[in-house]
Copies of this chain bind each other. A is one copy, B any other.
Amino acid sequence: ADQEAMRLARAHQDNLTKPRGALGVLEEVAVRLAGAAGACPPPPPSPAALAIFAADHGVHAQGVSPWPQEVTTQMVANFLAGGAVANAFAAQVGASVTVVDIGVAADLPAAPGLVVRKVARGTADLSLGPAMTSAQAVAALEVGIAVAGELIAAGAACLITGDMGIANTTASAALICAFTGQDPAVATGRGTGVDDATLDRKIAIIRRGLQVNGITGTTGGGADPDGTERGADPADAAEALRRLAAVGGLEHAALAGFILGAAAARVPVILDGVIAGSAALAACALSPAAVEYCVAGHRSAEPGHALALDHLGLRALVDLELRLGEGTGALLAYPLVGAAVRVMHEVATFDSAGVTDKNTQTAAG
C-alpha cells in the first residue's frame, strides 16, 4: 500500500467538517482505499461488479449438507433469471452481476451473463485425498485472475466476491484450519443450516480431510505480529497452493485468483462471508500484499469467518447475522464503502466552510 497516500488521507479526514475520528471505521476504509489506489482521495469505487463463482464439491457425498447437490445448478439458473437475493441486492446498490461456472457438476445451458470456465465437474472428495490436482487449482486461480481483469477492463472500479456451491462451507472451514492452524471443532459451523448430528459429522470429515492431506500447522498469509509484510517465500507459496488444492473448492481457488487480480490492478475487492474469507487466506498466503486491497464486507454467522478475518487483520462492515453467501453480505457493504470514499471527495474542510475547529478554536473562512 502507498503509505504517503494513506498519510494524506488521514490528514485530510482530520480537516473535514466533523469531529476527528467521528466516522469511526469508515475513516479507516477510506485510508485503506487511498493506500490501495496510491491516491488521495481514492477514486470512487463505482461502478462495482459482483462475480459469483459456482462449483460443486466431492465432499457433498459425505452428507455434510442437507441440500441436494443439484441446488448449485438450480441456483445458477436463478441468478441468471434475476431471481436470487444477490440479484435483488445488486439491483439495490447498483452492481452488475456475472456468474462464472468454474466447476458445476452439471452442464449448464448457455445464457446471457453466464461465463463458462469449467475446470472440472466439481472437486474430488477432500476427505479421501486432494480435492483438486495442482493443475486444476492453478487453472481455477487463473480464471479468477482473468475474470477480475475482464471486469476491470470493462470499467469496474470495485470488485465484489460471490459464490455458490452446495457444501462449500465444509471446504471453507477446512481451508481456514489449513491456513490459520485452528481446530475444525472451532472453525466449523452450520452453514446454511445443519443439525447437531450433521455438524459433528462435518467436523469429523474436515478433520479427516486435513489428516489425509497431511496438513498440520499453518503456512503464510497475513502480516507478521510486528506488522511488517512477509515476503512471498516461494516455499510458503508452494505449500499454500498445495493446501488450497487439497481441501479447497474450485470456487475458492477462483476467488483467490479474483482477489489477486483485483490487487494486481490496485482495485479494491469487497469480500463476502466465510467462503471469500477462506479464499482470501489462500490469496494472501500466495501474495501477502493482496490483503491491502481487501475490504471485509460482512461478518458471517459461521464461526470460521471471524477466525479468518482476525488472521487477515480485517474488520467486517456489516454484521447482520446473514448466512446466505452469493455475495449478499459484500453487496450490502458496498454503499458503505462508497460513502466512505465520497466523504473524501465532497465534504468541506473547516477552512472552506468557515466552521470553527475545536482543535484550533479559530473560526475560519
Q: Footprint of B on A, CB under 8 Å?
A: 16-26, 66-68, 70-71, 74-75, 77-78, 81-85, 87-89, 91-93, 192-193, 301, 317-324, 328, 331-332, 335-336, 338-339, 342-343, 345-348, 352-356, 358, 361, 363
Contacts and interface: CB of A to CB of B under 8 A. Distances in A.
A136 B338 CA distance: 40
A356 B70 contact: yes
A31 B348 CA distance: 39
A60 to B, nearest CB: 13
Contacts of A318: 318, 336
Given A85-B343, A88-B346, A192-B22, A74 B336 contact: no
Contact of A319 (B319, B332, B352): B319
Q: Which 10 pairs show the lowest CB-CB distances between chains A and B? A: A24-B321, A83-B348, A19-B192, A22-B324, A25-B320, A74-B355, A88-B346, A335-B335, A66-B358, A92-B339
Contacts of A67: 356, 358
A348 B78 contact: yes
A244 B335 CA distance: 35
Nearest to A349: B83
B93 A346 contact: no
Contacts of A89: 339, 342-343
A74 B356 contact: yes
A332 B339 contact: yes
B335 A92 contact: yes
A30 to B, nearest CB: 11
B353 A78 contact: yes
Contacts of A68: 356, 358, 361, 363
Contacts of A328: 23
A259 to B, nearest CB: 23
A319 to B, nearest CB: 6
A347 B84 contact: yes
24 contacts: A18-B324, A22-B85, A22-B322, A22-B324, A24-B321, A25-B320, A26-B320, A66-B358, A67-B358, A68-B363, A70-B363, A74-B355, A74-B356, A75-B355, A77-B354, A83-B347, A85-B343, A88-B339, A89-B342, A91-B342, A193-B358, A318-B336, A319-B319, A320-B336
B353 A16 contact: no
Nearest to A338: B92
A9 to B, nearest CB: 15
A256 B319 CA distance: 28
A354 B323 CA distance: 21
Contacts of A85: 16-18, 22-23, 343, 347
Contacts of A352: 83
Contacts of A321: 24-25
A71 B320 contact: no
A355 to B, nearest CB: 4
Nearest to A336: B332
Contacts of A19: 192-193, 323-324
